[in-house]
Amino acid sequence: MSKLLERRSIRKYDPNIKISKEEMSVILTQATRAPSSMNMQPWRFIVIDSIEGKEKLKPLLMGNHTQLETSAAMIVIFTDLKKFDLAEKIFDKAVKAGYIPKDVEEKQLRSIANMIPNLSDSRIEKSGLIDCGIVAMQLMNIAREHGYDTCPIGGFQHDQIAKALDIDEERYKPALIISIGKKAEDGYPSVRFDIEDITTFM
């Protein structure tokens, strides 16, 4: 069976295990190999691993306190509504790496400039949240390769978390939180729908 199918959500971790900034940076770097719409990479991470940071997060959680108290870190993932402002930086990097020619960059940037006026914040947010879901799954799988386990968390005060973490709440919209650490107990097995119940072939 594929190792990917062995992942379980872990709620209790060994509180003595920490993850260095260097290793966390590697994990996040590898996670961001995930695809995103137009390669805009709208995900933004806040890694909370200090006692002070966790205290800020605590009143915003709807439960999930065991993960907070025992994990090596809680990773809050936001989508950036201003992601298109960084398009030139992304495409410049691709040109310098030799992945695309300069004329392709210019064509893409013109296309984005023409598209932006027709996009509402809600549409940009929705697209970004999908991208954040993809990078979150990649992050959870990469964490296992590093010997850690995770749990995705959606139960928190979405409307308050940006302000509590001192970031621009108009620009950054929360997707989810991922707890990460060395498991102290196994997660529970869970069932899934039969594929016939959720799939239509046409």
C-alpha 67/C-alpha 152 separation (Å) is 10
Low-confidence residues of the chain, pLDDT below 70?
Answer: 1
Position 169 scores a pLDDT of: 97
CB 136 within 8 A of CB 45: no
C-alpha 2/C-alpha 166 separation (Å) is 40
Position 5 scores a pLDDT of: 81
Position 1 scores a pLDDT of: 60
C-alpha 91/C-alpha 117 separation (Å) is 20
User: How much of the chain is helix, strand and coil, in % rounded to 5?
Assistant: 50, 15, 35
C-alpha 162/C-alpha 175 separation (Å) is 11
**Largest distance between two CA atoms of the chain:** 54
Report the SS3 class of residue 135.
helix
